[in-house]
A and B are shown apart, each in its own frame.
Chain A
Amino acid sequence: MAKMASKTKQGPGAVVSVALTAALLALMALLLWRMQAGIKDVYIMKITRLCAINITLALAMNLINGFTGIFSLGHAGFMAVGAYATALLTIPASNKAMMFMIAPLVKPLDTLTLPFPAALITGGLLAALAAYLIGMPCLRLRGDYLAIATLGFSEIIRVLIMNAQPLTNGAMGLRSIPANATVAWTYGVALFTIVFMALLTTSSYGRALKAIRDDEIAAESMGVPLFNHKMLSFMLSAFFAGVGGGLLAAYNGTIGQDMFRVTMTYNILMIVVMGGMGSISGSVISAFVVTIGQEWLRFLDGPITVGRFHTDGVVGLRMVVFAALLLIIIVFFRNGLFGTKEATWSGVWRSFGKLRGLGKRGEAA
């Protein structure tokens, strides 16, 4: 996930970079495989899988917010579409009949089940369709207005889900979703998303998206059709958000409209901002850091005794830590971990060189 474009001036060449990336991926796969076999702790494996889902979700958001420069806050809505579609298409018919107590599930869906990958893709496509409908009015807006409008539409999706009893089981949500979100699926999808985004952003189409981000008027005067490109970027972003949402549904086992509030969007946005808007490797690293961090800091929510000070636990205290961290990042490191740059092997090489240089200077002194 490190090397994206190797414009090496020093350090390893392109071939070595590819080899190192392959080695890293192999190591990662081996590690995941060993963990799956060796670690009996379900909790750790759950978090490991959540990391991969968050990579997919963060990259989806980064495409529209980071690479295209459109501040969209509608991701929770697209995730909800993907999640509900995947759930409805994979839950066995008998379970569906039991679940829909108030109103029975609408006709073809009540017996229809699809294989997991087909359900995921359907979820993604439906999310992209939703993005098309939302994008029609919203993408004509700019900046804050666009953010507010997409946020509003995301809420509309949620409210629709809450009230469409025969389709979504309303406020009761969906249960017994088959646990298809295995390590292989979550990491497979994450890897596919990384490769797709890397190829997209280095293509001429991706260049046009970055041009729109940097200066709309200049991009348009160079012949880049603004609306088309924004729309396609928005729909691609929604597709991956939908797929991510589908994985999340299969990962959780149950979903409800309550999951897909604005908070969900903000959680993903935090990953993107911390990693760097417009950096794929930034989002990937940040997804691990934030996901693991949020779990690791859980002790803050429990009872704390510091000397004579004692609390019985404040729910949500760990989120305060993230809020503070985000503030620090926005104030002091506005570009996040990587800004718009990517982590490259030559970059690693350089910083390693710097460290060595520092060490030598230390010895000399």
Chain B
Amino acid sequence: MRLEIQDLRVSYGGIRALKGVSLTVSEGSVVTLIGANGAGKSTALRAISGLLKPDSGRIVYNGEDILGLAAKEIVRRGVVMAPEGRRVFPDMTVRENLLIGAYLRNDKAGVEKDLRYVMELFPRLSERTWQMAGTLSGGEQQMLAVGRALMAKPKLLMMDEPSLGLAPLVVKDIFAIIRRVNQDGITILLIEQNANASLRVADYGYVLETGSIVLEGNGRALLENPSIQEAYLGRRRNRKTEPAKYEVSMNSD
């Protein structure tokens, strides 16, 4: 499994949101794409998922150009997105939400197995199978959104700001889950404003600014990079003497 994006250009009603983005996600890794609001992170994910049509570029997945395929074809190939802002189905039960994730699958036994896997991953959800998803807390909804995406049996799971608007403790849980899911063999493309947390779990990171990749490198290296520290981690330069406990992450919202 390998996802390669080459020179992706997308515009939204005259505004160029992505101005030639190239990135690679290799099998088994956690790759993160960080950047501020409006940098074009979600646009990139939506383009990969087939939810919007790019102007030009190539999205090559396992040697096949998936650009221009319908969203369902992309899901069928194992590229699944957990959209930004959770977007669970509020008037459906937790169970129904999860089953929608498996909508394109026909293997009943496999679906049941994955249902148990998700319940084991998120014990909070298993206590609430018959509850309407709209009545869950923010953190539970995020877990449901991730669980729903997992039900599609992804090879590549793309997460759009899973930490958005969640309490710090819950964010910690979510990132632990990301690590766990990755260990279970699912490749992850993670989009985050929370640069600190995401670079810590990521093998490789890209920094997106106003539609272009300005920096890339492995997670650790980016975390140490002075310009990243200044722009995304809220640390000023020339203060290397300052102890690490003052490190403040630029949290979303």
User: A-side interface residues toward B, CB under 8 Å?
Assistant: 7, 9, 204, 207-208, 210-211, 213-215, 217-225, 278, 340
The digit string for B134-148, where 1 denotes a CB below 8 A from any CB of A, is 000000000000001
A221→B89 CA distance, assembly (Å): 12
The digit string for B69-109, where 1 denotes a CB below 8 A from any CB of A, is 01110011000110100011111100010011101100000
A204→B104 CA distance, assembly (Å): 10
Kindly state whether residue B187 has any CB partner on chain A within 8 Å.
Answer: no
A213→B89 CA distance, assembly (Å): 8
Given contacts A207-B92, A207-B100, A210-B89, 19 further A-B contacts (CB under 8 A): A204-B103, A207-B103, A210-B91, A210-B96, A211-B89, A211-B100, A213-B91, A215-B88, A215-B89, A217-B87, A218-B89, A219-B89, A221-B49, A221-B51, A222-B101, A223-B75, A223-B104, A225-B71, A225-B72
Is B87 touching A223 in the complex (CB atoms < 8 A)? no
Q: Known contacts A208-B100, A208-B103, A218-B83: does B89 contact A223 (CB below 8 Å)?
A: no
Q: How many A-B residue pairs have CB under 8 A?
A: 69
Which B residues between 34 and 87 are near A, CB-CB below 8 angstroms?
Answer: 49, 51, 70-72, 75-76, 80-81, 83, 87
Is A223 touching B103 in the complex (CB atoms < 8 A)? yes
Which residue in chain A gives the minimum CB-CB distance to B145?
Answer: A218
Is B89 touching A217 in the complex (CB atoms < 8 A)? no
Q: Which of B71, B99, B152 contacts A220 (CB 8 A)?
A: B71
Kindly state whether residue B12 has any CB partner on chain A within 8 Å.
Answer: no
A217→B49 CA distance, assembly (Å): 11
Question: Which residues of chain B are within 8 angstroms of A210 by Cβ–Cβ distance?
Answer: 89, 91-92, 96
A7→B101 CA distance, assembly (Å): 21
Is A223 touching B92 in the complex (CB atoms < 8 A)? no
A204→B95 CA distance, assembly (Å): 12
Residue pairs across A and B with Cβ atoms less than 8 A apart, 25 shown, are A7-B130, A204-B99, A207-B96, A207-B99, A207-B103, A210-B89, A210-B92, A211-B92, A214-B89, A214-B91, A215-B88, A215-B90, A217-B83, A217-B87, A218-B89, A220-B71, A221-B51, A221-B80, A221-B81, A221-B83, A222-B75, A222-B80, A222-B152, A223-B71, A224-B72
Best-buried of A208, A221, A278, A340 by chain B (most CB within 10 Å): A221
Is A221 touching B71 in the complex (CB atoms < 8 A)? yes
Question: Which residues of chain B are within 8 angstroms of A278 by Cβ–Cβ distance?
Answer: 91
User: B-side interface residues toward A, CB under 8 Å?
Assistant: 49, 51, 70-72, 75-76, 80-81, 83, 87-92, 96, 99-101, 103-104, 130, 148-149, 152
Is B87 touching A215 in the complex (CB atoms < 8 A)? yes
Which residue in chain A gives the minimum CB-CB distance to B73?
Answer: A223
Is B91 touching A340 in the complex (CB atoms < 8 A)? yes
Is A219 touching B100 in the complex (CB atoms < 8 A)? yes
A102→B35 CA distance, assembly (Å): 73
Question: Which residues of chain B are within 8 angstroms of A217 by Cβ–Cβ distance?
Answer: 51, 83, 87
A208→B130 CA distance, assembly (Å): 17
Question: Which residues of chain A are within 8 angstroms of B104 by Cβ–Cβ distance?
Answer: 223
A7→B94 CA distance, assembly (Å): 13
A220→B49 CA distance, assembly (Å): 9
Is B51 touching A220 in the complex (CB atoms < 8 A)? yes
Q: How far is the CB of A181 from chain B (nearest CB, A)?
A: 35
Q: How far is the CB of A328 from chain B (nearest CB, A)?
A: 23
A225→B100 CA distance, assembly (Å): 12
Question: Which residues of chain B are within 8 angstroms of A204 by Cβ–Cβ distance?
Answer: 99, 103
Is A223 touching B96 in the complex (CB atoms < 8 A)? no
Question: Which residues of chain B are within 8 angstroms of A340 by Cβ–Cβ distance?
Answer: 91
Q: Which of A7, A213, A223, A225 contacts B152 (CB 8 A)?
A: A223
Is A218 touching B87 in the complex (CB atoms < 8 A)? yes
Best-buried of A9, A207, A211, A223 by chain B (most CB within 10 Å): A223
